[in-house]
Amino acid sequence: MPHLLHIDASIQGERSVSRKLTERAAKVWLAAHPGGTVTYRDLGANPVPHLDTANGLARMTPPDQHTPEQAASWQLTEELTAEIRDADVVLLGLPVYNYGAPSTIKSWIDHLIAPGLSYDPETSKGLFAGRELIVLASRGGGYGAGTPREGWDHAEAWLPHGLAITGLEPRFITAELTLATVNPAMAGLIPLAAESLAAAEAAIDALWAEGSASPEAAEAAEAAETAAAV
């Protein structure tokens, strides 16, 4: 039975664009996979603990030598990696905070980098290869080529590197300029923001549609990527 792992990270609640995008994608996936099952994790509401001096070495210490803090941390890592191992598709909401990924996503990934669970320690081969990772990203500004802050979005640039050893390869669908409707200084960008959001929604709707490799579906995905680069 097909299984979906749905992860949100935004702290914006109902105002969150990334949450709206992941919710839309989950509905599209369920419509395409009747009887499919879903695991949901909310890193915004229930963040994964950051690695610290008490628990952080759990992934580098043999389990039979774990302190109580390390044992608890390793148990959580086993839970998080199992969620991905059991999934056919992973949906990740990725808002951009202060030009980077939320620290909760960084912490989640830190827990995933575990020898024997997400990669082979002898060969460094990723054990999550073959799973589909769809990243629904939202960013308040525009950081594409030719913009004043070109390259300032460090979240999208970092994520593939952070996950590389696991074998997961993210595919991004991005809505940008999301602050245009709330920031008076960006009011002139509202049409571009609406265009970017519409392109992202079209790309989501085409993800698992029958004939999703059609020119129309490819055009929708390309439009979302182009809008994100404007």
Residues 101 and 137 sit within 8 Å (Cβ to Cβ): no
Calculate ∠ Cα 3-126-112, nearest 5°.
Answer: 70
Pairwise pLDDT comparison (211 vs 53), residue with the higher score = 53
Q: Which helix (H) or strand (E) is 4 found in, with range?
A: strand 3-8
Q: What is the pLDDT confidence band of residue 221, given thresholds at 50, 70 and 90? A: very low
pTM beyond 0.75: yes
The CA-based angle 18-169-161, given to 5 degrees, is: 90
Short-list 27, 43, 36, 25, CA closest to 3: 36
20-75 confidence digits (pLDDT tens)? 999 999 999 999 999 999 999 999 999 999 999 999 999 999 999 999 999 999 99
Residue 213 confidence (pLDDT) above 80: no
**pLDDT at residue 219 in the model:** 52
- Read off the pLDDT of residues 84-126 as tens digits, 9 standing for 90 and up: 999 999 999 999 999 999 999 999 999 999 999 999 999 999 9
Give the whole-angstrom CA distance, residue 209 versus residue 130: 19
CB 228 within 8 A of CB 94: no
pLDDT tens profile 164-183: 999 999 999 999 999 999 99
- pLDDT confidence bin for 227, thresholds 50/70/90: very low
Q: Delineate the domains of the chain, giving CATH numbers in brackets.
A: 3-229 (3.40.50.360)
DSSP 174: E
* 104: CB partners within 8 A, 6+ apart: 9, 43, 44, 47, 48
Using the predicted structure, report yes or no on whether residue 224 has a pLDDT greater than 70.
no
Q: Is the predicted pLDDT of residue 146 greater than 80, yes or no? A: yes
Q: Phi and psi at residue 4, in whole multiples of 5°?
A: -115, 135
Using DSSP's 3-state secondary structure scheme, residue 41 falls into strand
Q: What SS3 class is residue 38? A: strand
Assign 3-state DSSP to the chain and report helix, strand, coil percentages, each to 5.
45, 15, 35
> How high is the pLDDT of residue 144?
86
pLDDT above 50: residue 216:
no
Structure tokens at 95: 């808002």
pLDDT tier at 215, thresholds 50, 70, 90: very low
